[in-house]
Amino acid sequence: MTKDIKNPPIDRIDGRLKVTGGANYFADFELPNTAYCVLVGSEIAKGSITSLDTKKAQGAPGVLGVFTHQNMPPIPGLDAPVGGEADGPAPKQKTEETYRILSSPKILFDGQPIAIVVADTFERATYAASLVKATYTKQAARTDLHKHVAEGIAPKGAEGGNYLRGKADAYQSAPVTLEANYTIPIEVHNPMELHGILAHWTGPANLMIYAKTQGVNATQQAMAEAFKIDPKNIHVHTEFMGGGFGMGLRTWPQETAVVAIAKKIGRPLKLVMNRSQMFTLVGHRPTTVQTINMGADQDGKLVGLAHAATAETASYEDFTEATVNMTKFMYACPNVSTRYRIVRLDRSVPIWMRGPGEATGAFALESAMDEMAHKLNLDPIEFRLRNYTETDPEHNRPYSSKHLKEAYQRGAEAIGWSNRKNEPGSQRDGNWLVGYGMSTGVFSAFRWEASARVLLKADGSLTVQSAVTDIGPGTGTALTMVAHNVLAVPVSRIKVEYGDTSLPKAPTQGGSAIVSAVGSAVFDACTSIKQTLIELATKNGGPLTGRQADELTLTDGMLSVEKEPGKKVSVSELMKANNLTVIDKTKESKGGPELGKYSMYSFSVHFVQVRVNPLTGVVRVSKAVSVADSGRIVSPKTAASQMIGGVAGGIGMALTEEATIDHRFGRFVNNNLADYHVAVHADVPAIETIMIDKPDPIINPMGAKGMGEIALVGFAGAVANAVFNATGQRVRDLPITPDKLL
Ligand code: MOS
């Protein structure tokens, strides 16, 4: 079904709305009589509240209520602890500990909400919140993973346990060996848009929610379970989102609490969290320590590989991610073992963030590959090619598609890899040391169940509908292209409606899966419309009677017979002749069992050139080239933008991003955007993106694999490798701040 054509780049369909303020984010919605709430957070990381004085707050102007564990309205479905199914599809398991918002004086992490203050304006709620005073009984809090690595436990669930292929210790006896430890700090999603919710009970069991969620259906389901009402009576709207990066992949306890309080006070209720709360209450990338053991022979063939990772989680939930998975299948190596552990700390729970798991794991594996290449005196690309695999060694099955060799080659050309000197520290540009580095990235390519409705009107316009939300990558634009490619309706006549539970059900936007999932449903619905048109044209008495479907082409609103010039009928005439004002098709789509015969991944390669100032230790990424092997590129412009965004995130991960805890108090010291440094324009050079753009013949009818995550996965390793090439200094502890190079 896949046509071997390159798609034209079209502008983002929502671009104008976004840059003119026409796009409404959850907090932009105004409902009459709305009240506002502000969270008050715990000042200790572990212990319990001994006294809570809310009198002053209650008496402050405009205050409608102060809710604490003493008077919190019930949340019927939260008899199952938060972290249960009511939270949507998050990667977590319950522990023996329970965190239920405002349900007991127990404190499990710093910043845990101890009160929610409601007032008639946001400013009055903020002031009243400052009047809530608490005293505590403190217990010693364990917040530093580095002190507790030995306490790691094997989690239940998909990421738990150990993996072994061949012999676990084969690396030890290899001619060339390497052992190295890599660490990453807490990183925080920090989208520009703050998190929160606007909840409005439109009836005793009817709810309207404007949320900051990556999945409106998931939020609908979570609220249905929490409040024991029919999901059909819950309407969730999230058309626009000012960045998600993973933080919106679940419904958070404070959102549920706001819904409960809105019911109690009988008014619409809005919560917009502040920036420091964004560090604590909506997840983060967990601190992770990793060890790689690698053995190779003198020819540069891997003999053995072992990858162990330990990450933090909360006391009350086991969060896991696929940190060590890449090591199992990335390279041809007969002996591979991996081990993944988590440590429960007195911290709030992590959540998936930008290339979750793989981004952490790739930093370790791809740094180690660079270190080994150096030991072997091999070019890092050559070393990877010597261990290249055309089939998945973990599952012993083919990849659905893999064009990584071409990606290495094209990226190398674009960055000017031939200018790289194998000898570290041997290239200068004035006072700056210059180095080149590269790294591979990978992420699972998914195809989840999704549905879509497509309506073709007799005037030639097309409407595409799906509940899927767009966290920023340009989902509507990609779906426009999918529809355009099947029905040849001009892009300007296609309208995409999304981000609302009134539309056909769709999965949560995450895991780089949406073009594959929802795109397939749109493709199927459009294909069904096309079949209807063909049937109308070729039936007895139809204008193209007797022709076979494969003799017909559909272009510019015309069905024509390829071999008979002039023999054609316009789609609108055809519809009018059959008294049709609209052809309306809804399709559910999911992959068939044949997908299970393949390993499906998107691949990327990142190349960077860095300049390092030997006097100050400052690292500048001076050039970046990112190559995506993610199947057919459906929307080239938004795809390139995603890659650029990934590189910006990657520069932050590599050089600046670190949320620091003062472990004496278990609290962040840089929980704001002035002190937590995301990459800004001055940090980001012109970025070249290259799309291999070869359709995957297996995954879906568009041949498109995901691309959001691979834009980031691996990038930090490429920077670390370039810094080594520039300076001879190997930094295994992110971020690579100047102090680590002096
Ligand atoms: Mo992504 S971390 O699946 O939003």
**pLDDT interval class at 91 (50, 70, 90):** low
Name 385's bridge partners: none
Tell me: pLDDT of 102 over 50: yes
Q: In this predicted model, what pLDDT tens digit does every residue of 307-337 receive, in sequence order? A: 999 999 999 999 999 999 999 999 999 999 9
Helices 253-265 and 216-227 cross at an angle (nearest 10°) of 60
Which atom of ligand 1 approaches the CA of 245 most closely?
Answer: 4
For residue 149, is it within any domain? no
Cis peptide before 735 (omega within 30 of 0): yes
Angle subtended by helix axes 715-727 and 636-651, to nearest 10? 50
**pLDDT for the residue 230:** 97
CATH number, position 495? 3.30.365.10
Does the residue 186 lie in any domain?
no
In a domain, 155, yes or no: no
85 C-alpha to ligand 1 centroid (Å): 19
Residue 240 φ then ψ, to 5°: -120, 145
Taking only the tens place, the pLDDT of each residue in 172-206 is 999 999 999 999 999 999 999 999 999 999 999 99
- In this prediction, residue 96 carries a pLDDT of 84
Tell me the C-alpha distance between 374 and 650, whole Å.
23
The atom of ligand 1 lying closest to the CA of 356 is 2
Nearest CA, atom 4, ligand 1: 246
* Measured distance CA(568)–CA(582) in Å, rounded: 20
Same domain, 199 and 222: yes
225 and 363 belong to one structural domain: no
Cα 192 to middle of ligand 1, angstroms? 16
Tens-place pLDDT, residues 262-308 = 999 999 999 999 999 999 999 999 999 999 999 999 999 999 999 99
Instruction: Provide the CA 428 distance to its chain's centre, in angstroms.
Output: 38
Ligand 1 centroid, distance to 262 Cα (angstroms): 29
Atom of ligand 1 nearest to the CA of 512: 3
Closest ligand 1 atom, residue 351 Cα = 2
Tell which atom from ligand 1 comes closest to the C-alpha of 248.
Answer: 4
In angstroms, the CA 522 to CA 586 distance is 9
Q: What is the CA radius of gyration of the chain?
A: 27
In the chain, the number of structural domains is 3
Q: Within a domain: residue 430?
A: yes
Residues in the ligand 1 pocket, defined by CB under 6 Å:
214, 244-246, 249, 352-354, 356, 510-511
301, 291 Cβ separation under 8 angstroms: no
**Do 463 and 578 belong together in one domain?**
yes
Q: pLDDT band at 157, cuts 50/70/90?
A: confident
Round to the nearest angstrom and report the end-to-end CA distance of the chain: 57
Based on the fold, state whether residues 640 and 666 are members of the same structural domain.
Answer: yes
Q: How confident is the model at residue 80 (pLDDT cuts 50, 70, 90)?
A: very low
365: exposed, middle or buried (C-beta count within 10 Å: 0-12, 13-18, 19+)?
A: buried
Which CATH number fits the domain that encloses residue 218? 3.90.1170.50
Residue 477 is assigned to a structural domain of this protein: yes
381 and 275 in a single domain? The answer is no
Q: Are 197 and 26 in contact (CB under 8 A)?
A: yes
Give the CA distances from residue 550 to residues 456, 486, 541, 554, 703, in Å, rounded to whole numbers and listed in that order. 21, 14, 19, 11, 21
Q: Is 559 in the same domain as 411?
A: no
Ligand 1 centre from 470 Cα, in Å? 12
What are the residues whose beta carbons fall under 8 Å from the beta carbon of 540, sequence distance 6 or more? none
Å from CA of 27 to ligand 1 middle: 22
CA–CA–CA angle 552, 555, 557 (5° rounding): 105
The rounded Å distance from CA 512 to ligand 1 centre is: 7
Boundary of a domain, candidates 227, 258, 279:
279
Segment 339-382, tens digit of pLDDT: 999 999 999 999 999 999 999 999 999 999 999 999 999 999 99
User: Is 145 domain-assigned?
Assistant: no
Dig out the tokens for 625 from the structure. 């080239």
pLDDT-derived band at 160, boundaries 50, 70, 90: confident
Residue 83's pLDDT is: 36
Strands (DSSP E) along 145-233, which ranges? 162-165, 176-184, 196-203, 206-211
Is 157 a domain residue? no
Residues with Cβ within 8 Å of 564's Cβ and at least 6 positions away in sequence, in order, are: none
pLDDT confidence of residue 92: 66
Our CA angle for 156, 600, 441, nearest 5°, is 85
Helix (H) or strand (E) holding 528: helix 514-538
pLDDT category of residue 82 using cuts at 50, 70 and 90 = very low
Measured from the Cβ of residue 555, the count of other Cβ atoms closer than 10 Å reads 9
- Give per-residue pLDDT as tens, 586-622: 999 999 999 999 999 999 999 999 999 999 999 999 9
Ligand 1, residues 354, 358, 475: which to mutate, most atoms within 8 A of Cβ? 354
Out of 193, 321, 658, 709, which one is annotated catalytic?
709
Is 709 designated active site? yes
Tell me the mean pLDDT in the region 124-141: 98
In this structure, are residues 723 and 370 in contact, taking their beta carbons and an 8 Å threshold? no
Q: Please check whether residues 604 and 586 belong to one and the same domain.
A: no
Pairing mode, strands 450-457 and 462-466: antiparallel
Residue 423 inside a domain? The answer is yes
Is the same domain home to 299 and 431?
Answer: yes
CA of 354 to the centre of ligand 1 (A): 5
Tokens 């291999």 belong to residue: 692
- How high is the pLDDT of residue 180? 98
Q: Could you give the CA distance from residue 290 to residue 366 in angstroms, rounded to a whole number?
A: 12
Domain range enclosing 527: 448-590
What integer is the mean pLDDT of 471-492?
96
CA torsion angle 360 712 281 195 (round to 10): -170
Residues 438 and 454 grouped into a single domain: no
Same domain for 670 and 551? no
Query: For residue 418, with 0-12 CB atoms within 10 Å meaning exposed, 13-18 middle and 19 or more buried, which class applies?
Result: exposed
Residue range 29-74, pLDDT digits in tens: 999 999 999 999 999 999 999 999 999 999 999 999 999 999 999 9
455 shares a domain with 442:
no
| Mutation to probe ligand 1, out of 247, 249, 250 (largest number of atoms < 8 A from CB) | 249
CA 652, CA 672: separation in Å to the nearest integer?
15
Secondary structure class of 707 (helix, strand, coil): coil
Higher pLDDT, 78 or 121: 121
Tell me what ipTM this predicted complex has: 0.98
User: Do 274 and 297 share a domain, yes or no?
Assistant: no
Is the pLDDT reported for residue 5 higher than 80?
Answer: no
> Where in 204-334 does DSSP place strands (E)?
206-211, 234-237, 269-272, 288-296, 302-314, 317-319
Please report, for residues 51, 63, 138, 337, 348, the alpha-carbon distance to residue 135 in angstroms, rounded to integers and kept in the order given. Answer: 5, 22, 9, 49, 21
Residue 125 has pLDDT above 80, yes or no: yes
Q: In what order do the strands lie in the sheet with 106-107?
A: 106-107, 47-53, 133-138
- Average pLDDT along the chain: 95
Phi, psi of 5 (to 5 degrees): -125, 150
pLDDT tens across 535-589, in order? 999 999 999 999 999 999 999 899 999 999 999 999 999 999 999 999 999 999 9
| % of the chain exceeding 70 in pLDDT | 97
What are the two backbone dihedrals, phi and then psi, of residue 373, each rounded to the nearest 5 degrees? -55, -40
- With bands split at pLDDT 50, 70 and 90, how would you rate the model's confidence at 86? very low
